Chains A and B, each alone.
Chain A
Amino acid sequence: MRPIPTDRGDCPFDPPTGMADEALGKVRLATGDDVWLVARHHLVRQVLADTRFSSELDGGLRGVPLHAVRPEPGMFIQMDPPEHTRLRRMLTGRFTVQRMNRLRPQIEQIVADQLDVLEQQPRPADLVANFALPIPSLVICELLGVPYEDRQEFQHAAALLVDLTGSPEELEAGMLRLGEYLLELIARKRAEPGEGLIDELLDSGLRDEELVGIAVVSLIAGHETTANMLGLGTLALLQHPEQLALVRQSPETARTAVDELLRYLSIIDTVMLRRASIDLELDGQVIPEGDFVSCSLASANRDPALLERPGELDVTRPKTPHVAFGFGPHQCLGQNLARLEMEIAYPALFRRLPKLRLAVPLSEVPFKKDVAVYGVHRLEVEW
């Protein structure tokens, strides 16, 4: 059995070499599990749109931490319809394009404050710790309605959870601590409601455990992902200075750049698995009931059938139907929030620090290998 490719070759922005060698074939994961790997845009869309490729994995895999733990109440990313639909519909109204745009002033303020923090650092400074990580964390606090005085506590508990270098025990401890904090926050909000997603859901009939699950999913889905896009995206633009200049100058290009960076970097590649709930036909082959299917979103996003010059970063490209946020009924609920954060943060950074540059050679940048969401651990910059 061919192992799933993990080596990115010369360009750190390219998908692992060989990921797209076969449109559909079996590969072995590092855990020893054998799965089907889907690596074409139209096939990835076909799998993710079809809920007979179930999101309820029921364990069954050896070593994927997120799936190894039994789904908690409210963790709708691991559910199928109709339960998934019930929970998701309670949230979708809170994540519309219109609603997200109303958060713009708060996000602009968070970004400006964080740029103040970054500017006060001794140089070279780490852009990840001082810019990329805190921005999405603070935005999630804003979204959920975490009170200002609790933000340190929340950010600390969140950091424990997203630091995937920790042991399973540390991960478990982080999850417990965050869960306890959220239960206590919900109790306080029941006594004295304020503003935020949690407050709006207090009367929705959801149990407290489900509310905690929803808050934790929002955090896991919205924190490290956006942080890695801010870090890796900045690095990609620093390596393409003429495109960086366009992002700095034109608000319209800053918008198109976000989707192009999402497509080009595809920081979530083969993470979200599906399980065939019955024998299913795909690309002329039968996927037997119970087999696991992994979709390579990075391969789909560089499929020559999707767009011309797929391996090139071009921030002026019209938006393509990329699958960086997934596809189908589970497609990222927070995608319009993520887009807004990036659309605000990239140009703000390049305007505040017009001489921003990498402080170390590209070969010395520590890339996140073997973790679920691709990115950089640190990004030492000068300006």
Chain B
Amino acid sequence: MVITVDQGRCASSGQCVLSAPQVFAQDEEDGRVVLLDEQATGQQVRRAATGCPTQAIRLA
């Protein structure tokens, strides 16, 4: 499984950082999602993808 993020869609809500802080961070300038580990798996990652308000996180 590989995680991809779409910064164009991201609304900087920070939900993914709350769900999986080891996998996602927020850009210091505009708060948009920064992917720290595209190979990460697990329930936290799935929760981050489901919880994203703009569906900017894809698992494939």
Q: List the interface of chain A (C-beta within 8 A of B).
A: 48-49, 88-89, 92-98, 319, 321, 325-333, 335-336
A330 to B54, CA, bound (A): 9
Asked if B5 lies at the interface with its beta carbon under 8 angstroms from chain A, I say: no
Whether B53 and A92, one on each chain, are in contact in the complex, defined by CB atoms closer than 8 angstroms, is no
Residues of A within 8 A of B29 (CB): 93
Whether A327 and B18, one on each chain, are in contact in the complex, defined by CB atoms closer than 8 angstroms, is no
Asked if B27 lies at the interface with its beta carbon under 8 angstroms from chain A, I say: yes
Asked if B3 lies at the interface with its beta carbon under 8 angstroms from chain A, I say: no
Whether B30 and A331, one on each chain, are in contact in the complex, defined by CB atoms closer than 8 angstroms, is no
| Secondary structure type dominating chain B contacts | loop
Residues of A within 8 A of B12 (CB): 88-89, 92-93, 95-96, 333
A162 to B27, CA, bound (A): 33
Whether B50 and A321, one on each chain, are in contact in the complex, defined by CB atoms closer than 8 angstroms, is yes
A321 to B26, CA, bound (A): 19
Residues of A within 8 A of B47 (CB): 319, 321
Q: Which positions 1-41 of chain B face chain A at CB distance < 8 Å?
A: 11-14, 17-19, 25-32
A171 to B7, CA, bound (A): 39
For residue A295, give the distance in angstroms from its CB to the closest CB of chain B. 13
9 closest cross-chain pairs (CB), A and B: A92-B12, A92-B31, A96-B26, A331-B53, A97-B14, A321-B51, A96-B31, A97-B17, A93-B30
For residue A71, give the distance in angstroms from its CB to the closest CB of chain B. 19
Across the interface, name the chain A residue whose C-beta is closest to B10. A92
A92 to B13, CA, bound (A): 8
Q: List the interface of chain B (C-beta within 8 A of A).
A: 11-14, 17-19, 25-32, 47, 50-51, 53-55
Whether B14 and A329, one on each chain, are in contact in the complex, defined by CB atoms closer than 8 angstroms, is no
Report which of A92, A321, A329, A333 forms a contact with B30, defined as CB distance below 8 A. A92
A78 to B26, CA, bound (A): 25
Whether B53 and A96, one on each chain, are in contact in the complex, defined by CB atoms closer than 8 angstroms, is no
A333 to B30, CA, bound (A): 12
A151 to B12, CA, bound (A): 29
Report which of B17, B19, B54 forms a contact with A49, defined as CB distance below 8 A. B54
Report which of A92, A319, A326 forms a contact with B32, defined as CB distance below 8 A. A92
A326 to B27, CA, bound (A): 22
Whether B53 and A329, one on each chain, are in contact in the complex, defined by CB atoms closer than 8 angstroms, is yes
Across the interface, name the chain A residue whose C-beta is closest to B17. A97
Across the interface, name the chain A residue whose C-beta is closest to B27. A93
Residues of A within 8 A of B53 (CB): 48-49, 326-329, 331
A93 to B28, CA, bound (A): 6
Whether A93 and B11, one on each chain, are in contact in the complex, defined by CB atoms closer than 8 angstroms, is no
Across the interface, name the chain B residue whose C-beta is closest to A255. B18
For residue A126, give the distance in angstroms from its CB to the closest CB of chain B. 33
Residues of B within 8 A of A333 (CB): 12-13
Residues of B within 8 A of A328 (CB): 11, 53-54
Whether B18 and A319, one on each chain, are in contact in the complex, defined by CB atoms closer than 8 angstroms, is yes
Residues of B within 8 A of A49 (CB): 53-55
Across the interface, name the chain B residue whose C-beta is closest to A51. B54
A329 to B6, CA, bound (A): 13
Residues of A within 8 A of B30 (CB): 89, 92-93
Report which of A88, A321, A327, A336 forms a contact with B14, defined as CB distance below 8 A. A336
A49 to B51, CA, bound (A): 12
For residue A258, give the distance in angstroms from its CB to the closest CB of chain B. 11
A48 to B19, CA, bound (A): 21
* Contacts beyond the supplied A49-B55, A96-B31, A329-B11: 13 A-B pairs with Cβ under 8 Å: A48-B53, A88-B12, A92-B12, A93-B12, A93-B27, A93-B31, A98-B28, A319-B51, A321-B51, A327-B53, A328-B54, A331-B54, A335-B13
Across the interface, name the chain B residue whose C-beta is closest to A335. B13
For residue B24, give the distance in angstroms from its CB to the closest CB of chain A. 10
Whether A98 and B26, one on each chain, are in contact in the complex, defined by CB atoms closer than 8 angstroms, is yes
Whether B14 and A96, one on each chain, are in contact in the complex, defined by CB atoms closer than 8 angstroms, is yes
Residues of B within 8 A of A319 (CB): 18-19, 47, 51
For residue A57, give the distance in angstroms from its CB to the closest CB of chain B. 20
Residues of B within 8 A of A329 (CB): 11, 53-54
